[in-house]
Structure 1
Protein backbone atom coordinates (compact mmCIF):
# COMPACT_ATOMS: atom_id res chain seq x y z
CA UNK A 1 0.00 0.00 0.00
CA UNK A 2 2.77 2.44 0.83
CA UNK A 3 6.27 2.93 -0.50
CA UNK A 4 8.99 0.39 -0.04
CA UNK A 5 12.23 1.58 1.47
CA UNK A 6 15.50 0.24 0.19
CA UNK A 7 18.20 -0.89 2.60
CA UNK A 8 20.34 2.13 1.66
CA UNK A 9 19.11 5.74 1.73
CA UNK A 10 18.33 7.29 -1.63
CA UNK A 11 21.51 9.31 -1.44
CA UNK A 12 23.37 6.08 -2.17
CA UNK A 13 25.53 6.00 0.98
CA UNK A 14 25.13 5.07 4.60
CA UNK A 15 23.23 7.65 6.63
CA UNK A 16 26.26 8.69 8.67
CA UNK A 17 28.26 9.47 5.54
CA UNK A 18 25.52 11.21 3.57
CA UNK A 19 25.90 14.90 2.81
CA UNK A 20 23.51 16.95 4.93
CA UNK A 21 20.90 18.65 2.79
CA UNK A 22 19.49 20.53 5.78
CA UNK A 23 20.93 21.28 9.21
CA UNK A 24 19.37 23.13 12.13
CA UNK A 25 21.69 23.73 15.07
CA UNK A 26 20.17 25.11 18.28
CA UNK A 27 17.48 27.01 16.38
CA UNK A 28 15.12 29.18 18.39
CA UNK A 29 12.33 31.51 17.27
CA UNK A 30 10.87 34.00 19.71
CA UNK A 31 7.95 36.13 18.54
CA UNK A 32 7.60 38.15 21.71
CA UNK A 33 9.57 38.16 24.92
CA UNK A 34 9.19 34.88 26.75
CA UNK A 35 7.13 33.17 24.05
CA UNK A 36 9.23 30.82 21.95
CA UNK A 37 7.77 28.96 18.99
CA UNK A 38 11.04 27.02 18.62
CA UNK A 39 13.44 26.27 21.46
CA UNK A 40 16.95 24.93 20.76
CA UNK A 41 15.92 22.68 17.86
CA UNK A 42 18.73 20.63 16.37
CA UNK A 43 18.00 18.52 13.31
CA UNK A 44 20.15 17.04 10.56
CA UNK A 45 18.58 15.72 7.36
CA UNK A 46 20.99 13.84 5.08
CA UNK A 47 20.56 14.20 1.34
CA UNK A 48 18.09 11.82 -0.27
CA UNK A 49 15.77 11.36 2.70
CA UNK A 50 12.12 12.03 3.44
CA UNK A 51 11.52 13.32 6.96
CA UNK A 52 8.08 13.90 8.46
CA UNK A 53 7.79 16.65 11.07
CA UNK A 54 4.86 16.04 13.40
CA UNK A 55 3.26 17.39 16.54
CA UNK A 56 0.13 18.87 17.98
CA UNK A 57 -1.27 22.20 16.87
CA UNK A 58 1.02 24.92 18.21
CA UNK A 59 3.98 22.58 18.67
CA UNK A 60 6.18 24.59 16.28
CA UNK A 61 5.90 22.54 13.08
CA UNK A 62 5.07 25.40 10.74
CA UNK A 63 7.63 27.70 12.37
CA UNK A 64 10.31 25.06 11.92
CA UNK A 65 9.45 24.72 8.23
CA UNK A 66 9.49 28.48 7.71
CA UNK A 67 12.87 28.91 9.42
CA UNK A 68 14.36 25.88 7.68
CA UNK A 69 13.22 27.11 4.27
CA UNK A 70 14.47 30.65 4.74
CA UNK A 71 10.97 32.12 4.85
CA UNK A 72 11.55 33.35 8.41
CA UNK A 73 14.75 34.14 10.29
CA UNK A 74 15.33 32.36 13.60
CA UNK A 75 16.06 34.37 16.73
CA UNK A 76 19.00 32.12 17.57
CA UNK A 77 20.90 29.16 16.17
CA UNK A 78 21.99 28.25 12.67
CA UNK A 79 20.18 26.94 9.60
CA UNK A 80 22.18 25.52 6.70
CA UNK A 81 20.94 24.25 3.34
CA UNK A 82 23.59 22.27 1.53
CA UNK A 83 26.19 23.76 3.86
CA UNK A 84 25.11 27.36 3.20
CA UNK A 85 24.50 29.31 6.41
CA UNK A 86 21.27 31.22 5.81
CA UNK A 87 22.21 33.86 8.39
CA UNK A 88 25.06 34.98 6.13
CA UNK A 89 22.67 35.83 3.31
CA UNK A 90 20.91 39.15 2.88
CA UNK A 91 17.32 39.24 1.62
CA UNK A 92 18.41 39.11 -2.02
CA UNK A 93 20.64 36.14 -1.27
CA UNK A 94 17.84 34.34 0.54
CA UNK A 95 15.54 34.96 -2.42
CA UNK A 96 18.10 33.45 -4.77
CA UNK A 97 18.60 30.44 -2.52
CA UNK A 98 14.86 29.78 -2.26
CA UNK A 99 14.52 30.19 -6.02
CA UNK A 100 17.46 27.99 -7.01
CA UNK A 101 17.85 25.38 -4.27
CA UNK A 102 14.48 25.03 -2.54
CA UNK A 103 11.12 23.71 -3.71
CA UNK A 104 7.81 24.34 -1.96
CA UNK A 105 4.56 22.39 -1.84
CA UNK A 106 2.08 24.50 0.08
CA UNK A 107 -1.17 23.32 1.63
CA UNK A 108 -2.91 26.19 -0.19
CA UNK A 109 -1.16 25.15 -3.47
CA UNK A 110 -0.62 28.78 -4.60
CA UNK A 111 -1.15 27.96 -8.26
CA UNK A 112 -1.67 31.06 -10.42
CA UNK A 113 -5.24 30.80 -11.78
CA UNK A 114 -4.58 33.01 -14.80
CA UNK A 115 -1.75 30.76 -16.02
CA UNK A 116 -2.05 27.36 -17.64
CA UNK A 117 -0.85 24.25 -15.84
CA UNK A 118 2.29 24.21 -18.00
CA UNK A 119 2.95 27.89 -17.31
CA UNK A 120 2.55 27.33 -13.57
CA UNK A 121 5.13 24.56 -13.61
CA UNK A 122 7.59 26.55 -15.73
CA UNK A 123 7.22 29.71 -13.62
CA UNK A 124 10.16 28.94 -11.26
CA UNK A 125 12.41 28.45 -14.31
CA UNK A 126 11.25 31.78 -15.74
CA UNK A 127 11.98 33.56 -12.44
CA UNK A 128 15.40 31.91 -12.19
CA UNK A 129 16.38 32.99 -15.70
CA UNK A 130 19.12 31.41 -17.75
CA UNK A 131 16.85 29.04 -19.66
CA UNK A 132 15.25 29.82 -23.00
CA UNK A 133 11.59 29.30 -23.85
CA UNK A 134 12.17 25.90 -25.44
CA UNK A 135 14.20 24.58 -22.50
CA UNK A 136 11.66 25.84 -19.96
CA UNK A 137 8.82 24.16 -21.83
CA UNK A 138 10.74 20.91 -22.20
CA UNK A 139 11.59 20.75 -18.50
CA UNK A 140 8.06 21.71 -17.45
CA UNK A 141 6.55 19.05 -19.71
CA UNK A 142 8.94 16.46 -18.29
CA UNK A 143 7.95 17.45 -14.75
CA UNK A 144 4.26 17.14 -15.61
CA UNK A 145 4.84 13.75 -17.22
CA UNK A 146 6.59 12.61 -14.05
CA UNK A 147 3.43 13.32 -12.02
CA UNK A 148 1.11 11.76 -14.60
CA UNK A 149 -0.28 14.97 -16.07
CA UNK A 150 1.47 15.13 -19.45
CA UNK A 151 -1.82 15.75 -21.23
CA UNK A 152 -3.08 18.57 -18.98
CA UNK A 153 -0.48 21.28 -19.61
CA UNK A 154 -2.86 23.50 -21.57
CA UNK A 155 -5.62 23.45 -18.96
CA UNK A 156 -6.31 26.10 -16.36
CA UNK A 157 -5.72 24.89 -12.79
CA UNK A 158 -9.44 25.30 -12.03
CA UNK A 159 -10.23 22.50 -14.50
CA UNK A 160 -8.26 20.00 -12.42
CA UNK A 161 -9.33 18.12 -9.32
CA UNK A 162 -7.75 18.92 -5.96
CA UNK A 163 -5.45 15.94 -6.21
CA UNK A 164 -4.39 16.88 -9.72
CA UNK A 165 -3.68 20.44 -8.60
CA UNK A 166 -1.49 19.08 -5.81
CA UNK A 167 0.39 17.01 -8.38
CA UNK A 168 0.94 20.20 -10.41
CA UNK A 169 2.31 21.84 -7.27
CA UNK A 170 4.73 18.94 -6.82
CA UNK A 171 5.85 19.19 -10.45
CA UNK A 172 6.44 22.92 -9.95
CA UNK A 173 8.44 22.26 -6.78
CA UNK A 174 10.68 19.73 -8.52
CA UNK A 175 11.19 21.42 -11.89
CA UNK A 176 14.28 23.34 -10.76
CA UNK A 177 15.91 20.18 -9.31
CA UNK A 178 16.08 21.72 -5.80
CA UNK A 179 18.33 20.53 -2.99
CA UNK A 180 15.40 20.37 -0.56
CA UNK A 181 11.63 20.27 -1.03
CA UNK A 182 9.49 21.55 1.85
CA UNK A 183 5.93 20.24 1.89
CA UNK A 184 3.40 21.78 4.27
CA UNK A 185 0.50 19.37 4.96
CA UNK A 186 0.49 18.22 1.30
CA UNK A 187 -2.40 15.77 1.81
CA UNK A 188 -4.56 17.70 4.27
CA UNK A 189 -7.51 18.26 1.91
CA UNK A 190 -7.27 14.99 -0.02
CA UNK A 191 -9.11 11.68 0.26
CA UNK A 192 -6.97 8.68 1.29
CA UNK A 193 -6.52 7.27 -2.22
CA UNK A 194 -5.52 10.63 -3.70
CA UNK A 195 -3.30 11.32 -0.69
CA UNK A 196 -1.43 8.07 -1.33
CA UNK A 197 -0.89 9.13 -4.96
CA UNK A 198 0.61 12.45 -3.84
CA UNK A 199 2.79 10.79 -1.19
CA UNK A 200 4.01 8.23 -3.71
CA UNK A 201 5.16 11.10 -5.92
CA UNK A 202 7.12 12.67 -3.07
CA UNK A 203 8.59 9.28 -2.23
CA UNK A 204 9.56 8.78 -5.87
CA UNK A 205 11.29 12.17 -5.88
CA UNK A 206 13.47 10.89 -3.04
CA UNK A 207 14.11 7.37 -4.29
CA UNK A 208 14.45 8.05 -8.02
CA UNK A 209 15.44 11.71 -8.33
CA UNK A 210 17.60 11.82 -5.18
CA UNK A 211 15.73 14.79 -3.73
CA UNK A 212 15.39 15.57 -0.02
CA UNK A 213 11.88 16.17 1.30
CA UNK A 214 10.89 17.70 4.65
CA UNK A 215 7.16 17.24 5.13
CA UNK A 216 5.06 18.79 7.88
CA UNK A 217 2.04 16.59 8.50
CA UNK A 218 -0.46 15.73 11.21
CA UNK A 219 -1.43 12.44 9.54
CA UNK A 220 0.13 9.19 10.83
CA UNK A 221 -0.70 7.49 7.54
CA UNK A 222 1.32 10.12 5.66
CA UNK A 223 4.23 9.78 8.07
CA UNK A 224 4.69 6.10 7.24
CA UNK A 225 5.99 7.13 3.82
CA UNK A 226 8.94 8.82 5.52
CA UNK A 227 12.38 7.52 6.45
CA UNK A 228 12.02 9.18 9.85
CA UNK A 229 9.38 11.02 11.86
CA UNK A 230 10.49 13.90 14.10
CA UNK A 231 8.07 14.98 16.82
CA UNK A 232 7.83 18.49 18.23
CA UNK A 233 6.23 19.55 21.50
CA UNK A 234 6.31 23.13 22.81
CA UNK A 235 8.89 24.05 20.23
CA UNK A 236 11.34 21.29 21.15
CA UNK A 237 12.24 17.97 19.55
CA UNK A 238 10.37 15.51 21.77
CA UNK A 239 11.05 12.25 19.93
CA UNK A 240 12.25 10.60 16.74
CA UNK A 241 10.98 7.45 15.08
CA UNK A 242 13.01 5.78 12.31
CA UNK A 243 11.05 3.99 9.60
CA UNK A 244 7.73 5.04 11.14
CA UNK A 245 4.48 3.16 10.79
CA UNK A 246 1.06 4.65 11.44
CA UNK A 247 0.41 2.73 14.66
CA UNK A 248 3.63 3.81 16.36
CA UNK A 249 3.22 7.39 15.16
CA UNK A 250 -0.24 7.48 16.74
CA UNK A 251 1.23 6.13 19.98
CA UNK A 252 3.85 8.85 20.13
CA UNK A 253 1.30 11.56 19.38
CA UNK A 254 -0.99 10.20 22.09
CA UNK A 255 1.82 10.24 24.63
CA UNK A 256 2.72 13.82 23.73
CA UNK A 257 -0.93 14.73 24.31
CA UNK A 258 -0.81 13.07 27.74
CA UNK A 259 -2.93 10.11 26.72
CA UNK A 260 -2.12 6.43 27.33
CA UNK A 261 -0.17 4.66 24.60
CA UNK A 262 -1.17 1.41 22.95
CA UNK A 263 2.40 0.33 22.14
CA UNK A 264 6.00 1.46 21.65
CA UNK A 265 8.09 4.22 23.18
CA UNK A 266 9.04 7.68 22.03
CA UNK A 267 11.89 7.57 19.56
CA UNK A 268 11.58 3.92 18.50
CA UNK A 269 9.55 0.77 18.21
CA UNK A 270 8.91 -1.75 20.96
Structure 2
Protein backbone atom coordinates (compact mmCIF):
# COMPACT_ATOMS: atom_id res chain seq x y z
CA UNK A 1 0.00 0.00 0.00
CA UNK A 2 1.05 3.57 -0.57
CA UNK A 3 0.79 6.07 2.28
CA UNK A 4 1.09 9.85 2.22
CA UNK A 5 2.09 10.94 5.72
CA UNK A 6 1.53 14.68 6.13
CA UNK A 7 3.58 15.88 9.06
CA UNK A 8 5.76 12.89 8.32
CA UNK A 9 9.02 14.42 9.53
CA UNK A 10 7.88 15.13 13.10
CA UNK A 11 8.03 13.21 16.38
CA UNK A 12 5.21 10.80 15.50
CA UNK A 13 5.22 11.08 11.72
CA UNK A 14 8.85 10.05 11.24
CA UNK A 15 8.27 6.93 13.35
CA UNK A 16 5.06 6.08 11.47
CA UNK A 17 6.88 6.34 8.14
CA UNK A 18 9.67 4.10 9.39
CA UNK A 19 7.22 1.53 10.78
CA UNK A 20 5.15 1.36 7.58
CA UNK A 21 8.18 1.09 5.31
CA UNK A 22 9.66 -1.65 7.50
CA UNK A 23 6.40 -3.58 7.02
CA UNK A 24 6.88 -3.48 3.24
CA UNK A 25 4.60 -0.55 2.42
CA UNK A 26 5.53 2.65 0.60
CA UNK A 27 5.18 5.52 3.07
CA UNK A 28 6.27 8.98 1.94
CA UNK A 29 6.78 11.79 4.47
CA UNK A 30 5.49 15.26 3.61
CA UNK A 31 5.83 18.54 5.49
CA UNK A 32 6.57 22.20 4.91
CA UNK A 33 10.22 21.24 4.50
CA UNK A 34 9.26 19.05 1.51
CA UNK A 35 7.05 21.72 -0.04
CA UNK A 36 3.65 20.74 1.36
CA UNK A 37 1.62 23.43 3.14
CA UNK A 38 -1.75 22.37 4.58
CA UNK A 39 -2.86 25.99 5.07
CA UNK A 40 -2.22 27.30 1.56
CA UNK A 41 -2.78 23.89 -0.03
CA UNK A 42 0.55 24.07 -1.83
CA UNK A 43 1.87 20.63 -2.74
CA UNK A 44 -1.08 18.69 -1.34
CA UNK A 45 -2.33 17.37 -4.68
CA UNK A 46 1.11 16.04 -5.54
CA UNK A 47 1.56 14.56 -2.06
CA UNK A 48 -1.62 12.47 -2.16
CA UNK A 49 -1.33 11.41 -5.81
CA UNK A 50 -1.75 7.61 -6.04
CA UNK A 51 -1.87 7.25 -2.24
CA UNK A 52 -4.18 4.61 -0.82
CA UNK A 53 -4.10 6.15 2.66
CA UNK A 54 -3.47 9.68 3.91
CA UNK A 55 -2.18 10.05 7.47
CA UNK A 56 -2.52 13.65 8.64
CA UNK A 57 -0.24 14.35 11.62
CA UNK A 58 0.12 18.10 11.16
CA UNK A 59 -0.34 20.23 14.24
CA UNK A 60 -1.27 23.79 15.05
CA UNK A 61 1.78 26.01 15.69
CA UNK A 62 0.02 27.47 18.74
CA UNK A 63 -2.19 26.13 21.54
CA UNK A 64 -4.27 29.31 21.81
CA UNK A 65 -7.48 30.57 20.23
CA UNK A 66 -5.82 30.56 16.79
CA UNK A 67 -5.71 26.75 16.78
CA UNK A 68 -9.34 26.14 15.66
CA UNK A 69 -8.74 28.16 12.49
CA UNK A 70 -5.63 26.09 11.75
CA UNK A 71 -7.49 22.80 11.99
CA UNK A 72 -10.52 24.10 10.07
CA UNK A 73 -8.43 25.29 7.12
CA UNK A 74 -5.95 22.42 7.13
CA UNK A 75 -8.62 19.71 7.29
CA UNK A 76 -10.69 21.37 4.57
CA UNK A 77 -7.63 21.44 2.32
CA UNK A 78 -6.45 17.94 3.19
CA UNK A 79 -9.86 16.34 2.64
CA UNK A 80 -10.40 18.18 -0.64
CA UNK A 81 -7.04 16.97 -1.95
CA UNK A 82 -7.65 13.45 -0.67
CA UNK A 83 -11.08 13.22 -2.31
CA UNK A 84 -9.77 14.57 -5.60
CA UNK A 85 -6.84 12.16 -5.47
CA UNK A 86 -9.00 9.10 -4.80
CA UNK A 87 -7.63 8.39 -1.32
CA UNK A 88 -9.62 5.63 0.36
CA UNK A 89 -8.73 6.15 4.03
CA UNK A 90 -7.77 9.22 6.11
CA UNK A 91 -6.19 8.88 9.55
CA UNK A 92 -5.63 11.59 12.18
CA UNK A 93 -4.14 11.63 15.67
CA UNK A 94 -6.11 13.30 18.45
CA UNK A 95 -6.17 13.45 22.25
CA UNK A 96 -7.88 11.21 24.80
CA UNK A 97 -10.49 13.28 26.63
CA UNK A 98 -10.26 16.30 24.33
CA UNK A 99 -14.04 16.63 24.39
CA UNK A 100 -14.01 16.64 28.20
CA UNK A 101 -11.82 19.76 28.53
CA UNK A 102 -13.84 22.62 26.98
CA UNK A 103 -11.79 25.19 28.86
CA UNK A 104 -8.72 24.68 26.64
CA UNK A 105 -8.75 26.25 23.16
CA UNK A 106 -6.41 23.62 21.73
CA UNK A 107 -8.52 20.72 22.93
CA UNK A 108 -11.66 22.28 21.45
CA UNK A 109 -9.71 22.66 18.21
CA UNK A 110 -8.81 18.96 18.18
CA UNK A 111 -12.48 18.07 18.64
CA UNK A 112 -13.26 20.33 15.69
CA UNK A 113 -10.67 18.48 13.62
CA UNK A 114 -12.30 15.16 14.52
CA UNK A 115 -15.77 16.46 13.64
CA UNK A 116 -14.62 17.74 10.24
CA UNK A 117 -13.15 14.32 9.43
CA UNK A 118 -16.27 12.48 10.60
CA UNK A 119 -18.49 14.68 8.43
CA UNK A 120 -16.22 14.34 5.41
CA UNK A 121 -16.64 12.17 2.32
CA UNK A 122 -13.82 9.67 2.97
CA UNK A 123 -13.66 6.59 5.24
CA UNK A 124 -11.60 7.51 8.27
CA UNK A 125 -9.89 6.46 11.48
CA UNK A 126 -9.16 8.57 14.55
CA UNK A 127 -6.45 7.52 17.00
CA UNK A 128 -6.72 9.31 20.34
CA UNK A 129 -3.62 9.17 22.55
CA UNK A 130 -2.85 10.41 26.04
CA UNK A 131 -0.04 12.92 26.73
CA UNK A 132 3.40 12.00 25.41
CA UNK A 133 6.28 11.18 27.75
CA UNK A 134 8.51 13.22 25.46
CA UNK A 135 6.62 16.41 26.39
CA UNK A 136 7.26 16.28 30.14
CA UNK A 137 10.32 18.57 29.90
CA UNK A 138 8.19 21.19 28.16
CA UNK A 139 5.40 20.82 30.74
CA UNK A 140 7.92 21.43 33.53
CA UNK A 141 9.32 24.49 31.78
CA UNK A 142 5.87 26.11 31.42
CA UNK A 143 5.49 26.61 35.16
CA UNK A 144 9.11 27.01 36.29
CA UNK A 145 9.93 30.11 38.31
CA UNK A 146 13.56 30.13 39.37
CA UNK A 147 14.22 26.76 40.99
CA UNK A 148 10.55 26.00 41.60
CA UNK A 149 8.18 24.11 39.32
CA UNK A 150 4.49 24.52 40.14
CA UNK A 151 2.30 21.64 39.01
CA UNK A 152 -1.30 20.60 39.66
CA UNK A 153 -2.40 17.14 40.77
CA UNK A 154 -4.10 16.49 37.42
CA UNK A 155 -4.05 12.72 36.72
CA UNK A 156 -2.20 11.85 33.50
CA UNK A 157 -1.59 8.55 31.72
CA UNK A 158 1.65 9.25 29.85
CA UNK A 159 2.48 7.28 26.71
CA UNK A 160 5.72 6.90 24.77
CA UNK A 161 5.79 8.41 21.27
CA UNK A 162 6.93 5.06 19.85
CA UNK A 163 3.85 3.32 21.25
CA UNK A 164 1.63 6.01 19.71
CA UNK A 165 3.39 5.69 16.37
CA UNK A 166 3.06 1.91 16.34
CA UNK A 167 -0.69 2.24 16.89
CA UNK A 168 -1.12 4.90 14.20
CA UNK A 169 0.81 2.77 11.70
CA UNK A 170 -1.26 -0.31 12.52
CA UNK A 171 -4.54 1.56 12.17
CA UNK A 172 -3.43 3.20 8.91
CA UNK A 173 -2.56 -0.18 7.41
CA UNK A 174 -5.92 -1.67 8.36
CA UNK A 175 -9.48 -1.13 7.22
CA UNK A 176 -10.98 2.27 8.12
CA UNK A 177 -12.47 2.24 11.60
CA UNK A 178 -15.02 4.95 10.80
CA UNK A 179 -14.61 5.52 14.50
CA UNK A 180 -12.04 6.13 17.21
CA UNK A 181 -9.38 4.00 18.90
CA UNK A 182 -7.90 5.25 22.18
CA UNK A 183 -4.39 4.33 23.29
CA UNK A 184 -2.83 5.18 26.64
CA UNK A 185 0.17 4.45 28.80
CA UNK A 186 0.01 1.77 31.53
CA UNK A 187 0.23 4.07 34.57
CA UNK A 188 -2.02 6.83 35.93
CA UNK A 189 -0.11 9.35 38.07
CA UNK A 190 -0.71 12.94 39.25
CA UNK A 191 1.19 15.53 37.25
CA UNK A 192 3.02 16.89 40.30
CA UNK A 193 4.24 13.38 41.12
CA UNK A 194 5.34 12.88 37.51
CA UNK A 195 7.34 16.10 37.84
CA UNK A 196 9.07 14.83 40.97
CA UNK A 197 9.84 11.47 39.37
CA UNK A 198 11.33 13.25 36.35
CA UNK A 199 13.57 15.48 38.45
CA UNK A 200 14.67 12.59 40.65
CA UNK A 201 15.99 10.74 37.61
CA UNK A 202 17.32 13.89 35.88
CA UNK A 203 18.02 16.38 38.71
CA UNK A 204 18.73 19.97 37.67
CA UNK A 205 18.29 21.85 40.93
CA UNK A 206 14.55 22.42 40.58
CA UNK A 207 11.92 21.18 43.01
CA UNK A 208 8.21 20.61 42.45
CA UNK A 209 5.54 22.42 44.47
CA UNK A 210 1.93 21.29 44.20
CA UNK A 211 -0.27 24.08 42.87
CA UNK A 212 -3.67 23.21 41.43
CA UNK A 213 -3.89 26.59 39.69
CA UNK A 214 -0.63 26.26 37.75
CA UNK A 215 -0.33 25.79 33.98
CA UNK A 216 -2.72 24.64 31.27
CA UNK A 217 -3.53 21.34 32.99
CA UNK A 218 -5.14 23.26 35.85
CA UNK A 219 -8.13 23.62 33.54
CA UNK A 220 -8.63 19.85 33.50
CA UNK A 221 -11.37 18.59 35.79
CA UNK A 222 -10.88 15.26 37.56
CA UNK A 223 -9.74 12.35 35.41
CA UNK A 224 -10.87 13.89 32.11
CA UNK A 225 -7.60 12.96 30.36
CA UNK A 226 -7.58 9.33 31.47
CA UNK A 227 -8.53 6.64 28.95
CA UNK A 228 -11.78 4.80 29.52
CA UNK A 229 -13.62 1.72 28.34
CA UNK A 230 -11.85 -0.47 25.81
CA UNK A 231 -8.78 1.73 25.29
CA UNK A 232 -5.59 -0.01 24.22
CA UNK A 233 -2.93 0.06 26.95
CA UNK A 234 0.61 0.52 25.63
CA UNK A 235 3.52 -1.38 27.22
CA UNK A 236 6.04 1.35 28.06
CA UNK A 237 6.16 2.58 31.67
CA UNK A 238 7.37 6.14 32.32
CA UNK A 239 10.02 4.96 34.79
CA UNK A 240 11.50 2.65 32.14
CA UNK A 241 11.33 5.36 29.49
CA UNK A 242 13.14 7.84 31.75
CA UNK A 243 15.96 5.43 32.41
TM-score normalised to structure 1 length: 0.31
Larger proportion of strand:
1
Query: Does 1 or 2 have the higher relative contact order (CA < 8 Å, sep 6+)?
Result: 1
